[in-house]
Structure 1
Amino acid sequence: MRIEPSFPQRQKGIAVITAILVAALVASLAFALSARERQWLNLVSNRNDLAAAGSSARSAIDLARLTLRDDMRNNQSDHLLEAWTVPVPPINVEEGKVGGRLIELQGRFNLYNLQSGGKVSEEGLVALQRLLTTRNLSTGWAEKLAEAMASQVALWQKTQKADATAARLTSKILLVANLSELAELAGLDPEKMAALEPLVTSLPDATSVNANFAPPEVLMAVTPGLSIREAERLVSRRVATPFKSGQDFVNALPESIRHTTKPANYTVESQYFIAESEAWFGRAHLQLQALLYRQRGKVPDILWIRRV
């Protein structure tokens, strides 16, 4: 014979089930709160790591600025035998590490030289055409890039004349900041233009080419009548004996073109550099690039700075 449980026994069973459910709910809430707390702590830790990485990377750029200032105080020329040209490998700092390097820019072909007074420069145009042939790129690109650069500079100059405040704020800052932006303005493929990255730059002023840093392709491009083989010979020569001036470089050219080459087109003292810094702190990894403008007796100015 089956005996039905009494009413008090049923209540006890319901109470036990309720207690189990309440305990499970409390445990779930505790786990959720703990997970959220861990997430918050990780977020705070990541932000602290990123802040520390950013501070260290910026400090490395400031150290590079002081290095360039002292270098200009100590000598009158820049060349590949100077200590600042050696990259600094990652070194330990506090709870992280930081490294970086300086990149000289006037050894590259300056795309600003494609124009003069907001109009296409024939001399710059021909030089870029010669440079494009070294990378098997269409010489037609030179005209498109020249027109894009000329239009941007003309627009910039018009803005300066119209607004004195804007002129002061935008002094030494070009509207086109990099090669990919200029390529897009010229209607060219930025990825294909990347082949020119080691050979060209976009600076806020017309500049002379640093003969102690320019690769053979650039020397050949900016020196009418110079062959690539002769340019390579000049580059080999400067490894042990850097050029002392633009005239010194011209004196080393083949006699057939020596008297038709302008020493003013070349320099051995650079004003523009890229400072790159890289920092690691915890889970944070940060890379910065800054365009530096150096003047004699002053700490170089930062014209722009960006994350890579």
Structure 2
Amino acid sequence: MRRQQSGFVLIQVMLVFAILIVVAAKLQYEQRIQIDRTAQSLFLGQAQTYAESAEAIAKVGLIIDLRNSQTDHLYELWNTADGLFPVDQGMIQLELNDLQGRFNLNWLTLESGYRDSAQQGLMRLLTILGSKPEIADELLQWFDRDSGIDYFYADERPSYAPAYTSMADLSELLLLKSVDYAEYQKIAPYLSALPADSKLNINTAPAEIIQSIAVYIDESTAQQVVASRGETGFTSLSDFLSGEVFKENQDSSVLLAQLSVTSNWFELYTSVTLQDRTLTQRSMLHRGSSGMTLTLRDRSVKEANPIPGDPIKGPAASADLDDTNESNS
């Protein structure tokens, strides 16, 4: 009987120890989760403060640029400055890009006043990029309430209807049936979604965009135009239109209404790294007569989106830098 009782007591003791081990493990796990949550909360608070400070730096820089320069081009300080700022236990990276050097999809809306020419220009650009020209046709219908495509997207899951209004963000392009993610990745660096009255800055536009301006501009001519900008850009539209290719074609008045040598819309990419955590943010900034305005803030973006062909930050510039590093090693 005593052996049975002692065995029973031993089992009880073992059960108590097992329960204590489980409870201790759970408490330790919950404590670790709470510590991680606290650390993440502290990181987010500090990183968001740094990101908002980066926006303030960009705003001040763009205002100073406006006061000191009559044009905007890729060799100005806002595009060439080193955007790395060391901070305690980390680094802040800033990259400012011009959005008016890209094709604005909202030019295809009725409000723009030249949607037909914009549609033709977008079709040319899509062809140049090896994409599908029919995207331009679907986009034109997406903006037009009289297009009769109300039920075109009813079979999507979930179903939706066309917006019939300007795009607020370029990612809305993915709602078109003709645009999958791979297609979007290919053409997005050349596109923007700005107010319909914004103009194209020919000082920051890549050769592909220049080529899409008019049917008579071929690849070679577009490359010559980009090269002729030099490191100071065109000082005026008349300077740009003085080229032989434009003298031979009488549509300068049409181009004057759509082009510019200045920019008011910029995209700021900010990356804040503190120890092993990173916060990224995309901010859309508008520079107007009354100052700088933040119009969008997106923390889902993971990398910057420089204008293709940017001699400072584009792929070609990176390749040149790699070649230089290899030759020096």
- 8 Å contact kept, 1:73–1:297: no
Cα distance, 1:14 vs. partner?
5.7
After TM superposition, the score normalised by the length of structure 2 is 0.75
Secondary structure, aligned partner of 2:252: coil
The question of whether the paired residues in 1 share the 8 Å contact of 2:109 and 2:166 is answered with no
Counterpart for residue 216 of structure 2: 225
Name the structure 1 match of 2:23: 29
- Contact preservation (8 Å) 2:131, 2:187: no
The structural deviation recorded for 1:276 is 0.7
Partner of 1:95: 89
Q: Please report the TM-score for the alignment, with normalisation by the length of structure 1.
A: 0.80
Aligned residues between the structures: 280
Match of 1:178 in 2: 169
Q: Is the 8 A contact 2:122 2:136 kept in 1?
A: yes
- C-alpha displacement of 1:220: 1.7
Give distance in 2, aligned partners of 1:88 and 1:67.
13
For residue 199 of structure 1, the aligned residue among 180, 186, 190 is 190
User: Deviation digits for residues 164-220 of structure 1, max 9, x if unmatched?
Assistant: xxxxxxxxxx75233341342465334313322122211123222111111112112
Gaps spanning 5+ residues in structure 2: where?
147-164, 302-329
Give 1:104 shift. 0.2
Rounded to whole Å, the distance in 2 between the matches of 1:282 and 1:149 is 46
CA contact (8 A) 2:234 2:261 kept: yes
Q: Which residue is 1:66 aligned to?
A: 60
Pairwise CA distance, 1:27: 4.3
Moved more, 180-189 or 270-279: 180-189
Q: Write the distance in 2 (CA, Å) between the matches of 1:225 and 1:297.
A: 39
Query: What does residue 105 of structure 1 align with?
Result: 99
Native 8 Å contact 1:87 1:100 kept in 2: no
Higher-Rg structure is 1
Displacement of 1:231 in angstroms is: 1.1
The correspondence of residues 230-241 of structure 1 with structure 2, limited to 5 A, is: 230-241=221-232
Aligned to 2:309: none
Deviations 1:42-78 (A, max 9, x none): 2211221122222212221221122111111111111
The one-letter amino acid of 2:192's match is T
Aligned to 1:79: 73
The answer for the alignment partner of 2:293 in structure 1 is 301
Distance 1:194 1:145 in 2: 17
* CA distance 1:180–1:38, shift in 2 (3 Å): closer
Q: Give, in angstroms, the shift of residue 221 of structure 1.
A: 1.2
- Which residue is equivalent to 1:132? 126
Counterpart contact for 1:90–1:99, Cα < 8 Å: yes
The yes-or-no answer on 1:208 pairing with 2:202 is: no
Provide the residue aligned with 1:280 in structure 2. 273
Cα deviation, 1:274-296, whole Å, max 9, x if unaligned, reads: 11101112443111111111113
Structure 1 letter corresponding to 2:193: S
When structure 1 is superposed on structure 2, of 234-243 and 259-268 the one drifting more is 259-268
Q: Percent identity?
A: 27
User: 1:270: which partner in 2?
Assistant: 263
| RMSD, matched Cα | 2.7
- Does the Cα contact within 8 Å between 2:51 and 2:281 map onto a contact in 1? yes
Q: Distance in 2 between matches of 1:210 and 1:118?
A: 16
- 2:32 maps to what in 1? 38
Q: Deviations over 1:245-302 (max 9, x none)?
A: 112111134254364323343211101111110111244311111111111351x211
